[in-house]
């Protein structure tokens, strides 16, 4: 007996091609691949074929089977697409596309730059790798200052510069003050320098890389009232219109006098009391719960002061003719204060549940 596999293949293809609906195709599938279908009946006839030819015919029937399976699957896809095309439900909600969000640090940088630009400050970005000379010497910091230790500052391997000394990862944005004085050569200067800074610390309020924004204003007759005015304006614009600022005496090498700036707590509006407790209590005090964010009504923003005459001299500016103020605040820190974030490491976790909230 002979089996004409080529002829059987033609028949099978005809069947598939002529199935014009899904239900017809399923019937065809049973007729071709079912227990009593064409392929199985061909396989059953194999035993009647002369032994020399049996192997080749068997191989051909199996190849036909694979081809039929592929063709049926392709046709199934085609027919179900047709159904979809015909039955589009235009009232169904579309599949939503996940959109990304700007990182909270990027958002804060944009907001801060925009607030200071309204006061006439120009946004600058200075190098992330800095010379020791600019980061310390020109800022009136003695060679023995502890910030110059290698557990406070990260040094970069390489030949030291004959004048500028060793290369370091910028530990603060304050060296931008000197770079800006060098760039402009002459006041008026109104700069906001925003950049990455590096210090080897890692805990709930410190990451080894963080961001600072440094304000610098130098002109004739600049005094502390201008500083206080600019800080008040920033605090109200960024944290909310009821925010108050206060200056506390402090010490920095590059400013004289120096201060730390506090803002009234954004969570308890400077009262130090977060809410009245509903727990039973007898005296009025028992009903008050201390604000967990500030404990005292004030939050520390960062350092500021009137630019030290030695710093103006390093920048090539005459301290008799000109005076100025400066400040340096942490970006991660101001966002934490604004929203009550309690762990700085969240910013760098890559966790979208946190990052998409801003
Ligand atoms: N550079 C200081 C730091 O990183 C912050 C600072 C304090 C900047 C006082 C200033 C300033 O401009 O006047 O801790």
Between the CA of 304 and the centroid of ligand 1 the distance, in Å, is 6
Query: Given a cut of 60, is residue 72 above it in pLDDT?
Result: yes
Report the pLDDT value the prediction gives residue 71, as an integer from 0 to 100. Answer: 93
Atom 7 (ligand 1) nearest CA:
303
Cβ atoms within 10 Å, residue 7: 9
Confirm or reject: Cβ of 170 under 6 Å from ligand 1: no
The verdict on the CB of residue 328 being under 6 Å from ligand 1 is yes
Whether pLDDT at 279 is above 70:
no
Answer whether 125's CB lies under 8 Å from 194's CB.
Answer: yes
Any ligand 1 atom below 6 A from CB of 252: yes
The length of the chain is: 358
Average per-residue pLDDT for the chain: 92
Both structure tokens of 66: 């694979």
Indicate if the pLDDT at residue 84 is higher than 70. Answer: no
Measured distance CA(86)–CA(98) in Å, rounded: 28
Q: Which pTM value belongs to this model?
A: 0.73
What is each CA distance from 242 to 215, 248, 358, in whole angstroms?
A: 22, 20, 21
250 CB-side CA count, 13 A: 19
Q: Which H or E run contains 324?
A: strand 323-330
Instruction: Inform me whether the pLDDT recorded for 296 exceeds 90.
Output: no
Query: Cis (ω within 30 of 0) for the bond into 257?
Result: yes
Cβ–ligand 1 contact at 153 (below 6 Å): no
Q: What is the pLDDT of residues 349-358, one digit of tens each?
A: 999 999 999 9
Q: CATH code for 104-123+175-355? A: 3.30.930.10
User: What percent of the chain is predicted at pLDDT more than 70?
Assistant: 95
With 90 as the cut, is the pLDDT of residue 208 above it? yes
The structural domains of the chain, with segments of one domain joined by +, span 5-87, 104-123+175-355
Question: With a 6 A CB cut-off, is 214 part of the ligand 1 pocket?
Answer: yes
Above pLDDT 90, what percent of the chain? 71
> Three-state DSSP class for 314?
helix
Q: Return d(Cα 259, Cα 327) in angstroms, integer.
A: 9
Of ligand 1's atoms, which has the minimum distance to the CA of residue 305? 13
Quick one: average pLDDT of 204-231?
A: 97
State the pLDDT confidence band at 288, using cuts at 50, 70 and 90.
Answer: confident
Q: Please give the distance, rounded to the nearest whole angstrom, from the Cα atom of residue 113 to the centre of ligand 1.
A: 18
Question: What would the mean pLDDT of 327-337 be, rounded to a whole number?
Answer: 96
If you count DSSP H runs as helices and E runs as strands, how many of each does the chain have, helices first? Answer: 11, 12
187-197 pLDDT, tens digit per residue, is: 999 999 999 99
Is 214 known to sit in a ligand binding site? no
Q: How far apart are CA 269 and CA 276, in angstroms?
A: 14
Judge whether residue 285 has pLDDT over 60.
no
Which residue minimizes the CA distance to atom 13 of ligand 1? Answer: 304
Residue whose entry in the numeric block shows the structure tokens 């079912």? 34
Q: Is the CB of 174 under 6 A from ligand 1?
A: yes
Average pLDDT score over residue span 136-162: 94
- Using CA atoms, how far residue 151 sits from 87, 199, 219, 221, in Å, is 68, 8, 37, 40
Reported in sequence order, the residue ranges of 201-291 that DSSP labels E, i.e. its strands, are 209-219, 245-252, 255-264, 273-276, 288-290
Residue 247: predicted pLDDT: 98
Q: How confident is the model at residue 284 (pLDDT cuts 50, 70, 90)?
A: low
Show Cβ contacts of residue 206 under 8 Å, excluding neighbours closer than 6 positions: 199, 344
- Identify the weakest region by mean pLDDT among 88-92, 166-170, 182-186, 326-330: 88-92
Residues 6 or more apart in contact with residue 91 via CB below 8 angstroms? none
């Amino acid at each position: 007996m002979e089996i004409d596999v080529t002829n059987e293949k033609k028949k099978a293809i005809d069947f598939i091609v002529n199935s014009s609906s899904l239900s017809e195709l399923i019937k065809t599938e049973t007729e071709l691949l079912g227990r009593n279908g064409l392929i199985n009946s061909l396989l059953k006839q194999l035993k009647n074929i002369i032994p020399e030819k049996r192997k080749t015919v068997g191989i051909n029937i199996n190849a036909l089977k694979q081809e039929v399976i592929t063709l049926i699957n392709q046709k199934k896809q085609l027919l179900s697409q047709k159904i979809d095309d015909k039955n589009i439900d235009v009232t169904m909600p579309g599949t939503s596309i996940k959109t990304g969000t700007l990182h909270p640090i990027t958002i804060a940088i944009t907001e801060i730059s925009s607030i200071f630009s309204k006061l006439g400050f120009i946004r600058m970005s200075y190098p992330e790798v800095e010379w020791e000379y600019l980061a310390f010497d020109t800022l009136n910091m003695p060679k023995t200052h502890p910030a110059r230790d290698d557990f406070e500052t990260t040094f970069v391997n390489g030949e030291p510069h004959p004048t500028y000394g060793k290369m370091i990862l910028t530990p603060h944005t304050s060296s931008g003050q000197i770079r800006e004085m060098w760039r402009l050569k002459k006041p008026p200067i109104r700069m906001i320098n925003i950049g990455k800074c590096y210090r080897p610390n890692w805990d709930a309020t410190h990451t080894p890389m963080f961001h600072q924004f440094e304000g610098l204003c130098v002109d004739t007759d600049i005094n502390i009232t201008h500083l206080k005015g600019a800080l008040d304006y920033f605090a109200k614009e960024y944290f909310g219109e009821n925010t108050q600022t206060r200056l506390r005496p402090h010490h920095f090498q590059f400013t004289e006098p120096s201060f730390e700036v506090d803002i009234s707590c954004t969570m308890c509006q400077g009262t130090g009391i977060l809410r009245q407790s509903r727990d039973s209590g007898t005296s009025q005090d028992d009903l008050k719960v201390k604000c967990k964010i500030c404990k005292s009504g004030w939050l520390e923003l960062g350092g500021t002061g009137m630019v030290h005459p030695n710093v103006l001299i390093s920048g090539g500016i005459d301290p008799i003719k000109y005076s100025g103020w400066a400040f340096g605040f942490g970006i991660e820190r101001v966002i934490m204060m604004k929203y009550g974030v309690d762990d700085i490491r969240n910013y760098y976790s890559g966790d979208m549940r946190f990052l998409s909230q801003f």
